[in-house]
Amino acid sequence: MTGDGTIHSPRFPFFSLVILPTLAQGLPFLFVNDLHQAMRIYNGVALVMLFIIGAQIGLYAGRNWPMAFAMASIGAVVVAITIPLRG
């Protein structure tokens, strides 16, 4: 086997791509006692991450800012739909 579980393992980048965004999303629930406030912080972090990811994807398309705003807008619409549904 080529991967030995160290940082030089070929599995580490995939591990990082899954764990780091999940950790960023989960931190508000660890540090904020009020669930409602933690959910709003969670939504804000998700929208910022969508904006950054949209800008990075847009670099490949040659239109990074429109793509960033489009992804963040779609995320904002989803958040706006889920808030009245107690989400």
* Per-residue pLDDT tens digits for 14-34: 888 888 888 888 899 999 999
In-domain check, residue 1: no
**Mean pLDDT, all residues of the chain:** 87
**Domain-located, residue 5:** no
Say how many domains are in the chain. 1
In whole angstroms, what is the distance from residue 69 CA to residue 87 CA?
23
Q: Which domain, by its residues, includes 39?
A: 21-82
The per-residue pLDDT for range 54-78, each reduced to its tens digit, is 999 999 988 889 999 999 999 999 9
Q: Are 53 and 43 in contact (CB under 8 A)?
A: no
Counting Cβ atoms within 10 Å, is residue 54 exposed (0-12), middle (13-18) or buried (19+)? buried
What's the whole-model pTM score? 0.78
Is residue 3 included in any domain, yes or no?
Answer: no
Q: Does a structural domain hold residue 51?
A: yes
From the number of C-beta atoms within 10 Å of its C-beta (0-12, 13-18, 19+), residue 87 rates as exposed
The pLDDT confidence band at residue 5, using thresholds 50, 70 and 90, is: low
